[in-house]
Amino acid sequence: MKKRNTQVTAILFALLAAILFGLNAPLSKILLESLSPLLLASLLYLGAGIGMGFIYLGKRNKNNEAPLDKGERKWAILMILLDILAPFLLLYGLKLTSSANASLLFNFEMVATTIVALMIFKEAIGRRMWLAIFFITLSSFLLTIDLVQLTTIKFSYGSLLVLLACITWGFENNFTRNMSHKDPYQIVILKGFGSGIGALLVYIVFERFSLQILLYPMLLALLLGFVSYGLSIFFYIKAQRHLGAARTSTLYAVAPFLGVIFSLILFNETLSLSFYVALPLMLFGAYLAVFEKHNHLHTHTVMTHNHLHSHNGLHHSHNHNIPDHSHLHTHEKITHSHEHKPDIHHRHTHDN
């Protein structure tokens, strides 16, 4: 029961992360009228770091999470570098395509995340996930072209940039996944300030800094960053530790559809033929991904690590009766079979 409740909570965290990130594309589209893509990318991440920093200060004495250590250093550096590049690609793509189109294209991030999780980090992918990848990839391809009267195909550079941003975030999601068992507040703060300051330096070097930039849109960008990046990333990381990178990204597929709804409300955009063809394929692919299951006999090798845990279930049987807490502990070897996701205790390889 404890394991089931944990899985349900993780799913809810992933969905909440998707809802908050769904605000990003349509509201960023508005802010791009006043701010350059690079400056906006910087402010979004700085807003995440500042907002989560204040929350962390308020909860510091009540926080039982395991802190980051030097073992996560390389993943943190890669995370920050990719988080500088991805928003830059996304926001320039938003200038060249509609907000609704860009929002739906975000589903390709799930495909990229899944492929990287499979090829590099050996997460298991079943038949449903492969079908989901096929339909979402096909849908994303359709959104990169404009179908005019069913005979003329016009390539969309804006859509291509959004897809490149999704691929970049696909790698970043997997690098962040390797830190997901540690304090999510610290991860978001590190991500926010590291990527925000990095993007700001790039902006100062390559673009002309102007004192005429309006304070109001900058404050709005910081607020949007706190909500759609800071809180969203926080809940995403909390979900990743129990679901793995690929499964969390499948639930995150709700975000693009919410972004489309917000875009239609705010901009009354005219949807292209490509959009109408791609939408049902994207929905079907997301459905397959969400309901994918994984169950087989597997062996846990001896493992020593530090993360927040309680002593309910098979994986934390060492003795002391303390509520959720973190400390360095060792798991003994165990072999069993049950439905599971690639959380921090189920990142084993698969021969079949």
pLDDT for res 301: 62
Q: How many CA atoms lie within 13 A of 288 on its CB side?
A: 20
Of residues 183, 179, 186, 182, the one with CA closest to residue 121: 179
Q: Which residues, other chains included, contact 70 with Cβ-Cβ below 8 Å and sequence gap of 6+?
A: none
| pLDDT(181) > 70 | yes
Mean pLDDT value of segment 126-136: 82
Q: Is pLDDT larger for residue 296 or for residue 160?
A: 160
Q: What mean pLDDT is reported for the chain?
A: 77
What's the chain look like in SS3? CHHHHHHHHHHHHHHHHHHHHCCHHHHHHHHCCCCCHHHHHHHHHHHHHHHHHHHHHHHHHHCCCCCCCHHHHHHHHHHHHHHHHHHHHHHHHHHHCCHHHHHHHCCHHHHHHHHHHHHCCCCCCCHHHHHHHHHHHHHHHHHCEEEECCCEEEECHHHHHHHHHHHHHHHHHHHHHCCCCCCHHHHHHHHHHHHHHHHHHHHHHHCCCCCCCCHHHHHHHHHHHHHHHHHHHHHHHHHHHHHHHHHHHHHCCHHHHHHHHHHHHHHCCCCCHHHHHHHHHHHHHHHHHHCCCCEEEEEECCEEEEEEECCCCCCCCCCCCCCCEEEEEEECCEEEEEECCCCCCCCCCCCC
Tell me the sheet residues that pair with 295.
Answer: 339
Residue 314: the pLDDT is: 54
What is the model's pLDDT at position 62?
Answer: 65
Q: How far is residue 273's CA from residue 210's CA, in Å, rounded to a whole number?
A: 40
- pLDDT for position 25: 80
What is the pLDDT, as a whole number, of residue 31? 92
| 180 vs 245: CA distance, rounded Å | 10
pLDDT tens figures, 245-285: 777 777 776 776 677 777 777 777 677 777 788 888 878 88
Confidence (pLDDT) at 189: 93
Q: Compute the distance between CA of residue 206 and CA of residue 265 in angstroms, rounded to an integer.
A: 35
